[in-house]
Chain A
Amino acid sequence: MNVVVCVKQIPDPADPGELDPETKTLKRDSKLILDESDSYGVEMALQLVDAAGEGEVTLVSMAPNNEVGGLRTALAMGAASAVLVSDEALAGTDALGTAKVLAAAIGRTSPDLVLAATESSDGYTGTVPAQVAELLGLPSVTFAKEIAVDGGGVHVKRQTEDGYDSVECPMPCLVSVTAGVVEPRYPSFKGIMAAKSKPVDEVTVADLGIDAGSVGWAGGGQEIVGIEPAPARESGEVIEDEGDAHERIVAFLDELKVL
């Protein structure tokens, strides 16, 4: 069984960088890492291929500056190869544009299953996976917390507010995975050493047969009209203890109806 996992490479959340006031998007010129959200998809894919006893995990990513840092991490975990779409023409690409690019890259392989995360950690529109499925003409299942494969289809436990739905779906299909549902493995020593020599196929928009005018700033159907700093948290009330602090705290909690 061959599984494609969409992995987004994002600026390190521990060192989040800045927004570009000009383009109103996140600056992505520093080193990018594997989005933690996607590490669950990678882990699930590795487990499914393991269980099937045959097949490979292929990664697909769209990222600026030919960035492979995050891909190497997923390759070290055990994925076999990667397709990276990187092209100046993609600057300014919105979620639908991203989906077009990913769909075209996935379409070059013929996977039995495509996995993505429910939402990325930096953009988190949560719209890309369903758009990719639509563009590829595949059925899609969202919020997967467990995936099993047999005969011709996938069995998915789909997370809901108060439990889960059991969903069956023929393959090929696209499933988006909820964060935290599996324990992503650490890359092993061997995996880290092998990652460098695993194939990463770097392709451009033209290689994918996509019209450059339909992606990037030119093709954007959306526009970011403004960015504002998040409002600072208002400072709390400081109670100086003049002997009655405990009464005032009790009164305050009482007002909040937490007592």
Chain B
Amino acid sequence: MHEWSDEHQMLRQAMKDFIAKEILPIKEDLEHGDLPPYDTLRKLFATFGMDEMARSTFRRRIERERAVAAGEVVDEPVESFGDPGFTLIPIIELSRHCPGMVTAMGVSMGLTASAISAKGTIAQKERWVEPLLTMEKIGAWAITEPNSGSDAFGSMQATARRDGDEYILNGSKTFITNGPYADTIVFIAKLDEGNPPAERKILSFVLDAGTAGLEQSKPLRKMGMHSSPTGELFLADVRVGRDRLIGETEEVAKGGREGAKATFQQERSGVAAMALGIIEQCLEVCVEYAKNRVQFGQPIGEFQLIQQKLAIMEVARMNVSNLVFRTIELGQAGRSMSFAEASAMKLYSAQAATAVALEAVQLHGGNGYMAEFQVEQLARDAKVLQIYAGTDEIQTTAIAKALLA
């Protein structure tokens, strides 16, 4: 794949129209007024039939799983979501204006739904996944803790203790996207059997908002991604039945790893698409600004130092765009990147987006530092791409590990 297809372009145009009409008029409230993005995302889903499509794909998949579970021979594989371009284009276009909305959407219908889909029982999927995929319910996925980030599993302090047929959950989670508003929360904890923490099993539970002992904080103040509410979760003796333990078994190790990898893969291609949206938007407004801003009697675009900035941005755009194309082409062929390759893509895209957005601020001079000009926001938003979904350093380590294996 070397360019967007006619269908992709039609979708991009439709997304641009929707954003201009439905999102830009309320952008100030989304970015500076704590307006949660969920109703707007639901409108987006309903407008483009994304909810209906997700629902019917999900139902077909469940029917097939049920047939397999009943021992029926099923040779027809369920066609997947189809063209990954249809998932990535809304991400790219939204990220030109409100990358936070993508974060909120991706964590809910991507990360949270995938965590339950990958390891859950059929009954659990029916109970929680469908409303997440349609954005009817908002999801959060909680692994990070105040003392456990990159070393998520090693330093994790959240615990699950057996109590008869039930579990008692305790712990605090932080930096949780959608935490303040989530209806459905995947909470990851260590099973405390009195054994040393390093030997404890990692279990995931599904919690509903309002469960006794669960507290969801207000949104935290942060540098960027303001259209994505981020918060803390506090659990004090939250009692849950086995029906909320994902997979309904403590032996989740076997199928779990593959599922987690697929989730990472999805998350990383999402970050590349976000980076592309940010880079494209920065480049577009910078080219305009370079043509129109006059200093020393000429447009600043006449200065070679400004030209160099634009050229470097264009190189980044081409590279990230090619990575996105590669993701789409692999997806269309029913394949995916290796873990290290996806890490490399995430690392490069995140760094490129941050570098481009900061140079875009520089190119705009004082205006670039003002909230009125869009690059100020995009520079703040871009930075987190190097931190969440695995920091740059963790991606680097994963790439090197694969090279040296």
Contact = CB atoms under 8 A, between A and B. Distances in A.
Contact of A196 (B7, B18, B48, B50): B7
Contacts, number: 40
A196 B6 contact: yes
A72 B10 contact: yes
A3 interface: no
B49 interface: yes
Q: Is the interface of A mostly helix, strand, loop or mixed?
A: helix
A188 interface: yes
A72 B6 contact: yes
B17 A193 contact: no
Contacts of B52: 190
A230 B6 CA distance: 35
A136 B278 CA distance: 53
A193 B48 contact: no
A181 B83 CA distance: 35
Contact of B48 (A69, A72, A189, A195): A189
A69 B10 CA distance: 9
A76 B50 contact: no
Interface residues of B, number: 16
Interface in A156-200: 186-193, 195-196
Interface string B3-18: 0001100110010011
B47 interface: yes
A74 B82 CA distance: 22
A188 B50 CA distance: 8
Interface residues of A, number: 14
A187 B17 CA distance: 11
Contacts of A76: 10
Contacts of A186: 14, 17-18, 47-48
A81 interface: no
B153 to A, nearest CB: 37
A192 B53 contact: no
A177 B82 CA distance: 38
17 contacts: A72-B6, A76-B10, A186-B47, A187-B14, A188-B48, A188-B49, A189-B49, A189-B50, A190-B53, A192-B7, A192-B10, A192-B11, A192-B14, A192-B86, A193-B83, A196-B6, A196-B7
Interface of B: 6-7, 10-11, 14, 17-18, 47-50, 52-53, 82-83, 86
